[in-house]
């Protein structure tokens, strides 16, 4: 595949929408101007399982300013209830605490919330089951794992190889339930038109994903739904698919003809209605021969899903292709519980799976007496062990070496607890990073010449990554123009279809469509187009996609300080080096890498959605108690990348960078904690109680 020459690409261009965002001119979903809106407040189940026995809305309905109250008794019937997460207000059955059981529509958001409190609900309660354990007798094997990968895989005889290994480890690692928590809450403005069409202003990672998700539920053709989302304040995966609140807004708008309705979920509501990362229990077994080569890998994962709808996270999949080795097994088992539906969260599957694999690699290095960087390099491979295909490029070893050089890895003392500065134990850790180079087919771009400029339109989403700017840079290079001559419109189903902003696939898919459209435009009109000249195309087929395995790689290094008396953990230094193809915009790329690494730090030390096993709800469901890494938690974070040229991935030579930054960070930090203290924490997050001896206030030794 011939890659695109870079002129605009590779420059640190300021975000095109920067001024609008910092001045407040950028309108997000809830801020869209609509005439005479009404406001919604959801009513949620306060039990973990059972059914609604009584829903008395009399007091709310009689209150001045209340336009409607809906429940399963009077809500419009949905055309399809196949997707049970979206099949709301159709039945009195309750599958999890926080499930939508009603909604109040009123003149103001304050009144809607007050009136919701006037509704009296009585329940027929049943015991709820929300506890994930590896020894449950009802674990089951899903047909596939996200998105459609084999649930289990076996190569060779890992059990025999483990038994014969010169060095082996067998350890279990756990990650808790975690919630995405973008800064902008999930929000919808819904308006039914007189002709029966529906307009949705939505905070989403994919306008077409929303349209295609809700159309069959509402029983209308997709092209009669227009979804508009020009600006999005973060998503981290939670806005990558349609959730129940969108259907709730559509039903409420249907109940008040001629009036648009507005809904913004509260932070607390997002903990039960917008997805989350499933907790995992991961047993890792690794074996080495006398030369330090991996001879066996077994990765068995237990996760939870909801009884309402299955989501099977692909957590064991990184073990299938990360390192060389002849014998490996991976498996996934699910427990269907009375909990909300889990969903995508930044680097789904790969992030928790690589935590377990990389933490186990550190334990293996310690057991074998091999430097952790050297162990990873020794087991590097140019061929994907799962598919047998050569990698288009694989910069893992170079990332590890360059990271070690920049970080000062040679100054690390391998003896745990050997380095102490004042009242702090100091340790260093390392982990590898990887993320597949996904492309979701079907994106289409349109380029039109008008009034001396070029308009590029595609229904893509910029969730804060800088996609609008990067796509303008790609279009400018593809057209042979300065970036100032190009204007990009995104975030609207009035524009050609585009894939979701997920899987680090956006720039790949959308950019490839823009490049192909630009080629057709120039072939047809040359350098002197007439006003109104236009071309439209989807991405050309990539013949190299079947010949090569394509992934981004990286290396993460962490310095950790642990207070010798209190067990407080600080991370003064993180450094990452990545091999992720061509970097289109260094300014926005650094932001993505640093943001991912910060989120990985948050995963390592803080994030834990605590489930009350009696009632089935997350008790720390706000920013007061669900701690996300803040400025005070973050010291020096450096993100570097290799100048990697990959002519096989796509015309731009890009691989996607939105998710690889979070992968491996937690393992690097936990390994640094071990190096600092000699305490091996296998259950995230790393908190002081896991480091302190319960018999006294001092570190376990």
pLDDT digits (tens, 9 = 90+) for 151-174: 999 999 999 999 999 999 999 999
Q: Which residues are catalytic?
A: 659
- On the question of pLDDT at 696 being above 70, the answer is no
H-helix or E-strand spanning residue 501: none
Count of beta carbons in the 10 Å neighbourhood of residue 353: 30
Alpha carbons 507 and 488: distance in angstroms, whole number: 14
DSSP alpha helices (H): ranges in 388-454?
396-407
Query: Which of these, 43, 44, 45, 47, lies nearest to 614 by C-alpha position?
Result: 47
pLDDT digits (tens, 9 = 90+) for 476-485: 999 999 999 9
For residues 278 and 337, the answer to whether their CB atoms sit within 8 Å is no
Strands 280-288 and 167-175: antiparallel
Largest CA distance in the chain: 81
Q: Residues 212-229: what's their mean pLDDT? A: 98
Phi then psi for residue 514, to 5 deg, are -65, -40
Count of beta carbons in the 10 Å neighbourhood of residue 697: 11
pLDDT band at 698 (very low <50, low <70, confident <90, very high): low
What pLDDT is attached to residue 386? 95
pLDDT digits (tens, 9 = 90+) for 647-676: 999 999 999 999 999 999 999 999 999 999
* b (16+ CB within 10 A) / e for 300-337: bbbbbbbebbebbbbbbbbbbbbbebebbbbbbbbbbb
CA angle 113, 117, 118 (to 5 degrees): 120
Query: Which of these, 200, 214, 211, lies nearest to 263 by C-alpha position?
Result: 200
* b (16+ CB within 10 A) / e for 123-153: beeeebbbebeeebeebeebeebbeebebeb
Whether the pTM exceeds 0.95: the reply is: yes
Q: Residues 689-699: what's their mean pLDDT? A: 72
What pLDDT is attached to residue 701? 60
- On the question of pLDDT at 695 being above 60, the answer is no
pLDDT digits (tens, 9 = 90+) for 271-287: 999 999 999 999 999 99
Phi then psi for residue 289, to 5 deg, are -90, -175
User: Could you tell me what percent of the chain has a pLDDT over 90?
Assistant: 97
Alpha carbons 633 and 458: distance in angstroms, whole number: 38
pLDDT digits (tens, 9 = 90+) for 445-497: 999 999 999 999 999 999 999 999 999 999 999 999 999 999 999 999 999 99
Q: Residues 324-338: what's their mean pLDDT? A: 98
Query: Which of these, 347, 649, 394, 659, lies nearest to 511 by C-alpha position?
Result: 649
User: Residue holding tokens 């295609």?
Assistant: 212
Q: What is the mean pLDDT of the chain?
A: 96
Residues 6+ apart with CB under 8 A from 567: 687, 688, 689, 690, 691, 692, 699
- On the question of pLDDT at 412 being above 70, the answer is yes
User: Residue holding tokens 């508009």?
Assistant: 228
What pLDDT is attached to residue 631? 87
Q: Residues 343-362: what's their mean pLDDT? A: 98
pLDDT band at 5 (very low <50, low <70, confident <90, very high): low
Alpha carbons 110 and 541: distance in angstroms, whole number: 52
pLDDT band at 1 (very low <50, low <70, confident <90, very high): low
What pLDDT is attached to residue 4? 72
Query: Which of these, 328, 346, 115, 146, lies nearest to 235 by C-alpha position?
Result: 346
pLDDT band at 693 (very low <50, low <70, confident <90, very high): confident
Name the more confident of 6 and 537. 537
H-helix or E-strand spanning residue 444: strand 444-450
Alpha carbons 622 and 632: distance in angstroms, whole number: 19
pLDDT digits (tens, 9 = 90+) for 168-191: 999 999 999 999 999 999 999 999
What pLDDT is attached to residue 2? 56
* b (16+ CB within 10 A) / e for 377-408: bbbbbeebbbeeeebbbbbbbbbbebbbeebe
């Amino acid at each position: 595949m011939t890659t695109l020459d870079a002129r605009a690409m590779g420059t640190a261009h300021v975000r095109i929408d920067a001024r609008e965002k910092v001045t407040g001119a950028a309108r997000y979903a809830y801020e869209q101007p609509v005439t005479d809106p009404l406001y919604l407040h959801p009513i949620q189940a306060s039990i973990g399982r059972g059914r609604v026995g009584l829903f008395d809305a009399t007091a709310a309905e009689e209150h001045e300013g209340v336009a409607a109250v809906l429940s399963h008794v009077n809500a419009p019937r949905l055309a399809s209830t196949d997707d049970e997460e979206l099949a709301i207000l159709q039945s009195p059955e309750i599958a999890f605490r926080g499930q939508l059981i009603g909604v109040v529509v009123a003149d103001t958001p304050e009144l809607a919330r007050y009136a919701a409190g006037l509704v009296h609900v009585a329940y027929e309660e049943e015991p709820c089951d929300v506890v994930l354990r590896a020894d449950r007798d009802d674990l089951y094997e899903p047909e596939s794992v996200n998105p459609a990968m084999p649930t289990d895989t076996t190569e060779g005889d890992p059990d025999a190889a483990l038994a014969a290994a010169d060095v082996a480890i067998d350890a279990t690692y756990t990650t808790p339930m975690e919630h995405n928590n973008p800064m902008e809450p999930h929000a919808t403005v819904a308006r039914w038109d007189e002709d029966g069409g529906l307009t949705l202003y939505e905070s989403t990672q994919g306008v077409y994903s929303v349209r295609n998700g809700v159309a069959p539920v509402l029983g209308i053709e997709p092209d009669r739904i227009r979804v508009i989302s020009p600006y999005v304040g973060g998503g981290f995966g939670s806005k990558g698919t349609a959730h129940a609140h969108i259907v709730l807004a559509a039903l409420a708008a249907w109940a008040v003809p001629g009036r648009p309705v507005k809904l913004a979920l509260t932070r607390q509501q997002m903990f039960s209605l917008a997805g989350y990362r499933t907790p995992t229990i991961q047993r890792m077994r690794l074996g080495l021969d006398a030369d330090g080569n991996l001879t066996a890998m077994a990765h068995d994962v237990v996760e939870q899903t909801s009884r309402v709808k299955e989501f099977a996270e692909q957590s064991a999949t990184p073990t299938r292709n990360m390192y060389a080795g002849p014998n490996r097994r991976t498996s996934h088992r699910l427990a269907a519980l009375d909990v909300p539906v889990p969903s995508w969260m930044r680097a789904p599957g790969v992030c928790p799976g690589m935590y377990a694999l990389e933490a186990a690699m550190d334990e293996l290095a310690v057991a074998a007496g091999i430097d952790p960087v050297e162990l990873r390099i020794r087991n590097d491979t140019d061929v994907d062990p799962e598919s047998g295909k050569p990698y288009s490029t694989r910069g893992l070893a170079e990332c590890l070496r360059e990271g070690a050089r920049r970080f000062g890895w040679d100054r690390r003392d391998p003896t745990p607890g050997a380095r102490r500065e004042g009242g702090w134990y100091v340790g260093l850790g390392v982990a590898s990073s990887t993320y597949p180079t996904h492309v979701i087919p079907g994106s289409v771009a349109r380029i039109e010449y008008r009034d001396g400029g070029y308009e590029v339109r595609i229904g893509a989403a910029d969730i804060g990554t800088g996609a609008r700017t990067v796509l303008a840079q790609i279009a400018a290079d593809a057209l042979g123009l300065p970036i100032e001559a190009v204007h990009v419109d995104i975030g609207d189903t009035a524009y050609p279809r585009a894939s979701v902003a997920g899987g680090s696939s956006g720039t790949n898919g959308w950019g490839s469509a823009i490049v192909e459209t630009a080629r057709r435009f120039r072939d047809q009109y040359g350098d002197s187009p007439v006003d109104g000249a236009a071309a439209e195309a989807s991405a050309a087929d990539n013949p190299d996609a079947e010949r090569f395995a394509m992934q981004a790689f990286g290396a993460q290094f962490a310095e950790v300080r642990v207070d010798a008396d209190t067990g407080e953990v600080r991370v003064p230094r993180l450094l990452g080096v990545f091999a992720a193809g061509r970097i289109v915009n260094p300014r926005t790329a650094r932001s993505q890498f640093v943001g991912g690494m910060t989120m990985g730090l948050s995963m390592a030390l803080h994030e834990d959605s605590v489930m009350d096993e009696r009632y089935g709800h997350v008790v720390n469901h706000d920013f007061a108690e669900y701690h996300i890494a803040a400025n005070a938690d973050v010291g020096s974070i450096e993100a570097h990348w290799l100048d990697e040229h990959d002519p096989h991935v796509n015309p731009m030579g890009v691989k996607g960078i939105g998710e690889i930054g979070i992968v491996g960070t937690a393992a690097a930090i936990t390994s640094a904690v071990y190096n600092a203290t000699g305490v091996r924490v296998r259950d995230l997050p790393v908190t002081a109680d896991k480091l302190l001896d319960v018999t006294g206030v001092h570190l376990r030794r």
